[in-house]
Amino acid sequence: MRAFFEAIQSLFVDFLFLPLDALRKLELSSWWFANIISWCLMAVCAYYIVYWCRQLKEHQDNNEENQDTTAHSFLK
């Protein structure tokens, strides 16, 4: 059983965490490049938030949204 857990440790430490170790070393020379993944994820999230808000506005302008409080039986 011990060999199984050591194999999992080896998988993560020796292979899967190598990109994160590289980012950690890169942070010492350039903070901006080390945080590029965070910046990309924030940009993607911001894009989809804007997209979602535009879709909500489009549905509201077309009167497709039922805003009546009696639309749900539990609100009666």
Residue ranges of the domains in the chain? 2-63
What pLDDT, on a 0 to 100 scale, did the predictor assign at position 43? 98
pLDDT tens by residue, the chain, 76 residues: 999 999 999 999 999 999 888 888 888 898 888 888 899 999 999 999 999 999 999 988 888 776 666 666 666 5
What pLDDT, on a 0 to 100 scale, did the predictor assign at position 71? 60
What pLDDT, on a 0 to 100 scale, did the predictor assign at position 73? 66
Determine the length of the chain: 76
Is this structure's pTM higher than 0.75? no
CB-based contact 34:27 (threshold 8 Å): yes
Spatial distance between the Cα atoms of 37 and 43, rounded to a whole number of angstroms = 10
Spatial distance between the Cα atoms of 50 and 58, rounded to a whole number of angstroms = 12
